[in-house]
Amino acid sequence: MQRAVSYLVVLAIGLAGGSYARAHGPLSSRAHAAEQPALAANPQVVEAIEAAAKPPARAASLGTPGLVGTNVIADLVERADPAVVNIDTIARAERDPFFEQFEDSPGGPSQGEEERGVGSGFIVDPGGLIVTNNHVVRGATDIKVTTASGQSYRGKVIGADPMNDLALVRVNAKGLPFLKFAASTEHVRVGDWVVAIGSPLGLSHTVSVGIISAMNRGISLNERVNFLQTDAAINPGNSGGPLLNIQGEVVGVNTAIAARGQGIGFAIPCWTAMNVIGQLKATGHVERTWLGVSIRGLNRDGGGVMVVGVAQGGPAASAGLRPGDVIVAIDQRPVKTDRDLLTYLNDKRSGTQVQLTVEREGKRAGLGVTLQAAPTMQKK
């Protein structure tokens, strides 16, 4: 028995998943036509309507601030779409407790049932490297990658990071068009226009447009990632596809939606994706850094996290951190919750030194800690 799914994590952030919103068409042309005789009676109104109907001048450059007019989105899509791929998978269904809360149906797939899925991805190297979500290819026994031109390839996962929900797939091809990640956080701001391209519900190379609605958004899917929130329409099947800025750079990897919300989607930010993909390309796995402490949040003004345990021989112990210390900042960034600390460390590599600001017996002090690779790769 086969079960077909379109991949996108439907979040249960206090929300139920699995239902699709109905699409409503535009206002009928008949209604507009009925209004025109009254408008035509006023020459000034007619002149204003005709002026508004004229297309705006084409923007000289996609990078020109504030200009998102005729042809800008279309030109962007024309350049970027050839590097976006459709990913079809066949897998033997397994019960994964982590994803059970996101299943489309209460029962979910049966153990051993063949499951056909569809997701999205994008090429990041002309030699055939493709980025997608881990949950798109997780457990797949067969992966088919189809480009915008209709060419199909067999894909192979060469590295995956379940914790960040990213995977790197290779196909046997050369000279493929590819996309670049935005260079830094400075290229991503709340209010920026963004374009999503993917295969929602299997409808390959569908384009939607919106803005970055929020940054550093914490969701139940992953406490270690600060997601981008967007109102660009994404649906099951968009998972793994790119979220592009107006320059055509990848600012995020589309990953999840809020089931009961409208225009609430989430993407893994480019700075996290670049770090993960770089490691997957080099070694096939992602190194986890280790501070060597157990912590708990504090219910107090200003926040902070209390150190409740220090691992013997770990980085924190070597730096002199003690149980009872309260971490209030890391590299001069405020630490109000344990998540603030986890997400900051998530993008760091072993050997990196971080500066902790701690409170101890009513006084503040700075401690330099050199991060180490975690002793185990197991997910907490």
The catalytic site residues sit at 135, 165, 239
Beta bridge partners of 242: 253
CB-based contacts of 176, cutoff 8 Å, min separation 6: 83, 123, 125, 126, 127, 128, 147
Length of the chain: 380
Q: How many CB atoms sit inside 10 A of residue 327's CB?
A: 25
**210 and 244 in contact (C-beta within 8 Å)?**
no
CB-based contacts of 302, cutoff 8 Å, min separation 6: 328, 336
From CA 88, how far away is CA 170, in angstroms rounded?
Answer: 14
Beta bridge partners of 358: 327, 365
Q: What 3-state DSSP class applies to 317?
A: helix
2: which 2 tokens?
């086969």
Q: Which of 210, 143, 151 is nearest to 177 (CA)?
A: 151
Note the Cα 349 to chain centre separation in Å.
Answer: 21
